[in-house]
Amino acid sequence: MITKRPLIYWVKSSSIKLQVILLVVIAVNIAARVFPLQMQRKIVNEAIGQKKLNLLFLYCGLYLAAVLIASALKFVINAIQTYLGQETLAKLRKELYAHILTLPLSFFRKASSGMVVSSLVTEVVSAGELVGQAIAVPVNNILTLLAFAGYMFYLNPLLAALSLGIYPIVILVVPRLQRHSNRANKMRVDVTRDLSGKIGETVSGIHEVQGNASYRIENRKYGEFVDRLFKIRIVWNMYKQGIKVLNNLFQSLGPVILFLVGGYLAINGRFDLGALVAFLSAYEKLYDPWKELMDFYQVYQDATTGYQRLMEYFDVEPEHALEPPPDREPYEFEGSIHIQDLSFTVAGGIQLLKQVNLDLKPGEQLALVGFSGSGKSTLAQCIAQLYSYTGGSVLIDGKEVSQLTKRDLAENMGIVAQSPYIFDGSFKENLCYSCEALLEGKAEKEGRLPTLDEMIEVIQQVGLFVDVLRFGLNAVLAANQEAELVTKIIRIRENFQTHFGEELADYVEFFDEKHYLDYSSVAANLTFGSPNRDEFTQERLAENPYFLQFLDEAQLKRPLISLGRELASQFLDILGDLPLDEVFFQESPISVDELDDYKELIERIGHSRIHELTPDDQRLLLRLALRFTPGIHKMATLPEMLRNLILEGRFLFMAKIQQDHPGALAFYRMSDYIHSQTILDNILFGKTTSDHPNAQDRINQSIIHLLIEEDLLEGIVEIGMDFKVGTKGDRLSGGQRQKLAIARVFLKKPPILIMDEATSALDNASQKRIQTLLETKWKGKSTLISVVHRLDTIKGYDKVAVMKAGKILEMGSYQELLAKKGVLYELVHGAKAAA
């Protein structure tokens, strides 16, 4: 198990070939670093001393060559170190992550997601990087130290012994300081992990924080962690800096001895000047490998401490084997379940299940009902091997659940939780998640992912078909995407207006370049197209120099500024004293956030003429006018004369921009596809004039009818399958997430199905739909265990088990239990009385 491996394991498991290459490169590099010292001596004594220019050039050239080779080899050493370190880091992350995924649920009830993230992203880094340095750094620097020291002894043994005599003192003092640093580092790792957990907890529960306005509480808790970490990091860094200062101090004392003794020997003729220069260079270069060794020592201590703490935290054994033994395939169950004397006790001796007994034949359906906290979900999760029961027996087709592998259960069981998890990615990826998990690791011939027809069938069954169709209709096609699809959509657009134009005239205002569009803004009426460049979007037109120049040329700028002024005055008179609620501003071109700005503007400009207004004031009024949409902002009207001027300006603008900036906008032409808009917008080719559900239904039915005619319905649904659902499925409603989870398990077609209040977020109609599906399509095909919260849905189950305080109080068919007038009878009639 990965948590049992010492840090040295990762060093040994790294590439031996690369390590050998690294040692060879290090040896050559050391020679290349020592060689220039001898050249310095020869340059001073022979070239300069004997005044030989040819020797000066030769020795300087050799010196330069050695320096260049050493630099290149240093780069190679660093590159190999980096590769080894990052390769190990990747392995460590993958294997630790794989281990974490197998840990029991009890571990995750104690561990926070923030701590797990911090461990995998941050805490493993130092261990991984250490592996890259583990051989190269100590070998390189020790050999370099020995090489420089040996050269110093070669030049003058006495001076070398005196200069190097300081280092043993450092070796004695530094480890003592490092032990204190290690203790502080352990505390730093622990508090950092707690801090990460706290952050993860707060972010996960942000809805509670904001709902209770508990900012001060969370800030106080967070502040306490930060203050503790602040103090610990101060101590830790003080020890680390102390070690560095001590190293620098001893290194700085060396030259004093060198100059004192070396100078005395040189003055007395016992040490030539070239040797003194070379000795001084060797001593200065001695500091670099020593410093790197001390830095490596600190890195090693920090990484070892962090690695030990990390592995201790995750040193938990998986409760069940993941895969079956090599000599057998995963079991294929029919779905019989036999439970005898089942009990489940958690920490503190609390019994959540007590002597539970039940039998289910293959294909039978069982409803678990009872009081809150009665153990219904716990029982379901023990059967699903999500909890490890502490007593009794759970047999599936005669096989003990506690002895089965995870693969055995996955092959035969589908689980839908009350709050199903939806992964970030596409709708299709989430729908096929369970099926893809079964195929992972198998040969291609052994299985396949569901077909589009199978996926469509299951989303129709759970009531998601219209939702996925809408995702597809709201998709934006890339400019180079499927010319045939674009052609079909344009044909549907034409048929939509031909066959349903008159019928839907009250609900859709179709684009017509000869008419003013009341449900489009003034800006949209002028440009009559969808922008392909940001500067031509509606909100940026008021600052667009090209567009402003056009307005001047078309003599539209002053009338539009006047319109903006009139609109601001009218809407401020109506809205100025109303509460700042979005409801009151739905039919206004002025938003809640802009109200104060326009109030101040109208008060400031008073009765000033347009040419007297500042450019900023003109821009604000122009922006308001361009935003004005008569069909929506019904509290004001657009003068007929200005309406006609805008319509004339449309043709001038279209001609001008096509010449000056071709491609800046995609104009609304019946024969052209608008790639910047959705498929639905392209089919409608206009603006809806009503948001009433009946209007939307009639439009949708008309579009579906045309999609079927063009054999394009499944194609649009397939596009909808690529809809990105967001983190935790936050772009889906609660009901859509539950339907998707149910569809996911239905697509898997398992012989055993466990549903833990799987329809709690659904409306009555959707819940009835799923229940009917379970009672028809799945009855007799899958053994169903369903934790039920609504008693009016349990009549069709083969058996009903009523639980309380971890025990099954009574079990039988719905009619049998009602006839007994026992606990279920009281629950049902109590629920009716409460209703």
Tens-digit pLDDT profile for residues 388-416: 899 999 999 999 999 999 889 988 999 99
Q: Is the pLDDT of residue 201 over 90?
A: no
| Residue at a domain's end among 657, 679, 700 | 700
- Domain containing 825 equals 331-420+751-835
Do 348 and 231 share a domain, yes or no? no
Do 399 and 514 share a domain, yes or no? no
Do 265 and 345 share a domain, yes or no? no
For 368-381, b/e burial (b = at least 16 CB within 10 A) is bbbeeebbbbbbbb
Do 23 and 70 share a domain, yes or no? yes
Residue appearing with tokens 């003055």: 267
Angle at 519 between CA 514 and CA 525, to 5 degrees: 45
797 three-state secondary structure: coil
Residue 482 maps to a domain: no
Residue 694 maps to a domain: yes
**Residue 727 Ramachandran class (φ > 0 left, ψ -120 to 50 alpha, else beta):** beta
Question: Could you give the CA distance from residue 321 to residue 738 in angstroms, rounded to a whole number?
Answer: 30
Do 651 and 692 share a domain, yes or no? yes
Which residues on neighbouring strands pair with residue 116, listed in sequence order? none
CB atoms under 10 Å from CB of 731, counted, come to 16
For 32-48, b/e burial (b = at least 16 CB within 10 A) is bbbbbbbbbbbbbbbbe
In this structure, the strands spanning 399-400 and 529-531 are unpaired
Do 674 and 764 share a domain, yes or no? no
The answer to whether the beta carbons of residues 386 and 318 sit under 8 Å apart is no
First-last CA distance in the chain: 55
Q: What is the pLDDT of residues 667-677, one digit of tens each?
A: 999 999 998 89
Do 393 and 305 share a domain, yes or no? no
Residue 55 maps to a domain: yes
The answer to whether the beta carbons of residues 2 and 99 sit under 8 Å apart is yes
Rounded to 5 degrees, what are φ and ψ at 787?
A: -80, 115
Per the model's pLDDT, the better-predicted residue between 560 and 442 turns out to be 560
Q: Is the pLDDT of residue 833 over 60?
A: no
CB atoms under 10 Å from CB of 248, counted, come to 12
Do 217 and 298 share a domain, yes or no? yes
Residue 828 maps to a domain: yes
Helix locations, 324-479, DSSP H: 376-383, 406-412, 427-431, 433-439, 452-462, 465-473
Residue 475 maps to a domain: no
Q: In this structure, what token pair is assigned to residue 613?
A: 């207004």
Predicted confidence band of residue 73 (pLDDT cuts 50, 70, 90): confident
Predicted confidence band of residue 545 (pLDDT cuts 50, 70, 90): very high
Residue 736 maps to a domain: no
The DSSP 8-state label assigned to residue 340 in this structure reads E
Do 156 and 276 share a domain, yes or no? yes
Per the model's pLDDT, the better-predicted residue between 555 and 760 turns out to be 555
pLDDT of residue 282: 67
Question: Could you give the CA distance from residue 154 to residue 152 in angstroms, rounded to a whole number?
Answer: 5
For 646-656, b/e burial (b = at least 16 CB within 10 A) is bbebbeebbee
Q: Which of 149, 185, 188, 141 is nearest to 166 (CA)?
A: 149
To the question of pTM greater than 0.85 for the whole model, the response is: no
What is the total count of domains within the chain? Answer: 3
Do 375 and 506 share a domain, yes or no? no
Do 183 and 114 share a domain, yes or no? yes
Predicted confidence band of residue 747 (pLDDT cuts 50, 70, 90): very high
The answer to whether the beta carbons of residues 147 and 33 sit under 8 Å apart is yes
Out of 147-156, 711-720, 722-731, least confident range: 147-156
Do 343 and 294 share a domain, yes or no? no
Per the model's pLDDT, the better-predicted residue between 604 and 577 turns out to be 604
Question: Could you give the CA distance from residue 426 to residue 441 in angstroms, rounded to a whole number?
Answer: 22
CB atoms under 10 Å from CB of 806, counted, come to 23
Predicted confidence band of residue 348 (pLDDT cuts 50, 70, 90): confident
